[in-house]
Structure formats: structure tokens, C-alpha cells
Amino acid sequence: MSAKLHWAAARAMAFMLLLGATVASSHAAPFAYITNQGSHDVSVIDLLIDSVVATVPVGRGPAGVAIAASQAKVFVTNPDSKTISVIDMRSRQVVDTLAAGDGPLGIAASDDGMRVYVSDWYRNRVLVFDSRVHHPLMSIAVGRAPAGLAVHESGEAVFVAERDDDSVAVIDVNSQRVLSRVTVGARPFALLYDTPRQRLYALNVQSNDLSVLDTRDLFRTGKLVPIATVAVGKAPYGAAMADGGKLLYVTNQHEDSVSVIDADTLKVVRTLRGFGYPEGIASHRDRVYVVNWMDDNLSVLDAVSGQTIKTIATGQNSRGFGAFIGDAPAP
């Protein structure tokens, strides 16, 4: 091979390697799926470039969102349509619409992505769906106005906030019944499960605090044990672990703020201001993402300092109630 051809081949090989690296890096970050209650759609945001790459029409008034990554699907509750929209993560299109009682709101997926749990606000029950074929599997009676849900990492227990009963219930998945319940603050709405610490956080929107529940003896006693109450801002709505699990971020709707809590000491270390009726919140790597209902955007924060890095415009009245960040596995 001549020197000229050898150099051309080397350049071509270098280009292919660079192209491969570029393609790989394009999948280095997952996507955020933000439900927009006012525009009846979902904004799909590529977190590598912090930009909306698709807008997916769904049912009316979408609120809750859960990602079944193993199935490459996003499940969205539409309370006003009484349905769930199923979005294919690769095509970014709705591939199915499921009937879901009278008021589907909270939603969560099991860690393996095989099941999706939905709270039916008006009929006081939790619906369970097979995420692979979208068939309903069971309906479990719970307390009044069930809202947020969280799934234990074992998949054997599901936690549900019973808003109008001021309680959190534990559902035994195998027996399909409520195993126990515990009284928390006034009007619990969202739940967050902290796997490393085996804790459950219940956000109480009327008492402006969060209840910290110990789950370590759950499968021995069947009960949640209250261990602390942490005062935050007005109407806490969503929560997310950040900075490698060191910090707990909580959105405060009626205070336009976010409380940052040391997850080990359970002390509020700072309060961040300047949001617009913040609702959903999630984290990825060194960033925290706050959904602003009033401002129709997503605030991107540095997870350690809490400083706002940028904002991303979304649809109208964005909610993002649930774990809204994820990516599909490689095909």
C-alpha cells in the first residue's frame, strides 16, 4: 500500500472511530419525560443536550409518569381521560391506551419493569398492569384518595399514600391486599423509597413536612415504623435523591422553593428559591431536574450546590409526577 493510501485509510479509520464515539456519547444520558397537564402531551428531553427532542400527544390532563425501562415504555396517567397512555421509548409514539378506572393519578413501575401500579383516586384502589402486554392483573382496595406510589426493590410490597386518610398503606403483592398502614402527616401525596437506607419518605402537603418511615423490619413485622418528621416548605409535592444519595431534594409547591435535606442527619441544609409552583423532581448523575407548573419549564440544577444551571421550556402546566427519567435498553 502506498504511503498516500495508507494515510487515507488511517484517516478513514480515525473518522469511523470518532463517529462511533459520537454515536455512543449520544446515548450516554437518558431522557426526561415531562407530563404537561395544560397542553395534554409529554415533552421528551434529551439530557445529554438539555433539549426537547419530541412532543408526544397523550390523553387529557396528564399527570403521573413511570418508566418500564426493560420494556422500553413510558406509562402516563391521564386523570381527565381516565386512561393510561403507553409510549414507546424508541419511536416516541403512543402505542396503546388503557382504561384505568375513574381517576388514575400516581403511577410506579417495579424495578424489573414487568409491572406497573396505578392509584385510582376516585375509586380508592390500586390497579396493577402487566407492562409487557398491558393487561390488567389485579385491583386492590386501599384507603381514600390514593395518590403517590412506591415499589419495594424486592417487588413484593407496594406503598401507597392514602391522602384523605392521612396514612400510608403497605400492599402485599402476593396476597393482593393491604398488609398494614401507618398514620403520617396531613394529606400525604407523594412517596419516595430510599433503597440504600431502606426508608420511605411521605410528603404531607397540608402539614408541610415529610414523614420518614423505616422499612427494615417490613417482611418480619409487616409494618412501617415512623422515625422522624422533617419540616419543609409549604405543600411539598415531589422528592428525589441526589449527589450519590447524600441529599434529598423536596419541591414546595406553594412556596416556589425546593428544600435540600442531608439524607443521613435529616436536617434541612438549604432552601432554594425562584421556582414557579414546582411539582415533579428527579435526578441524574450530578444534576437535579425540577418541573415548574406555573413557568412551563424544567429547571436544571447542580446537585451539590443547588445552583440553577439552565431552564428548558416544556409544554403547558408541566407536572412530572413520578420517576420521569430513564432510557431504553439497547435493541
Interval 63-121: pLDDT, tens: 999 999 999 999 999 999 999 999 999 999 999 999 999 999 999 999 999 999 999 99
What secondary structure, in 3-state letters, does 181-192 show? EEECCCCEEEEE
Mean pLDDT (the chain, rounded)? 92
What is the grid cell recorded at 323? 420517576
3-state secondary structure 271-322: EEECCCCEEEEEEECCEEEEEECCCCEEEEEECCCCCEEEEEECCCCECCEE
Q: What is the pLDDT of residue 317?
A: 98
% of the chain residues with pLDDT over 90 = 90
Query: Residue 6: exposed, middle, or buried by beta-carbon count in 10 A (0-12, 13-18, 19+)?
Result: exposed
In whole angstroms, give the CA distance from residue 293 to residue 280.
9
Q: DSSP state, 63?
A: -
Question: What is residue 139's predicted lDDT score, i.e. its pLDDT?
Answer: 97
The yes-or-no verdict on residue 240 having pLDDT over 50 is yes
Q: For 3-54, what is each residue's pLDDT tens digit?
A: 333 334 434 443 343 344 333 334 457 999 999 999 999 999 999 999 999 9
pLDDT digits (tens, 9 = 90+) for 127-158: 999 999 999 999 999 999 999 999 999 999 99
CA distance 181 to 179: 7
pTM: 0.91
What percent of the chain is predicted at pLDDT more than 70?
92
In the chain the first and final C-alpha atoms are separated, in Å, by 38
Whether 137 and 130 have beta carbons less than 8 Å apart is answered as yes
Model pLDDT, residue 4: 36
Q: Which three cell numbers stand for residue 62?
A: 396528564
pLDDT at res. 78: 98
Q: Is the dihedral of CA 129, 57, 70, 218 positive or negative?
A: negative
90's grid cell = 424508541
Q: Is the pLDDT of residue 266 over 90?
A: yes
Distance CA(304)–CA(222), nearest Å, equals 36
Closest CA to 284 of 239, 325, 328: 325
The SS3 of residue 48 is coil
Please state, in angstroms and rounded to a whole number, the distance separating the CA atoms of residues 238 and 279: 6
Is residue 69 within 8 A of residue 284, CB to CB? The reply is no
Average pLDDT over residues 164-193: 97
Spatial separation of the C-alpha atoms in residues 226 and 202, rounded to whole Å = 10
Closest by CA to 241, choosing from 284, 271, 209, is 284
For residue 213, the model assigns a pLDDT of 98
Contact 97, 79 (CB under 8 A): no
pLDDT-derived band at 330, boundaries 50, 70, 90: confident
Q: What is the pLDDT, as a whole number, of residue 13?
A: 40
In contact, 292 and 277? CB cutoff 8 Å: yes
pLDDT computed for residue 29 by the predictor:
77
**What confidence score (pLDDT) does residue 50 get?**
95
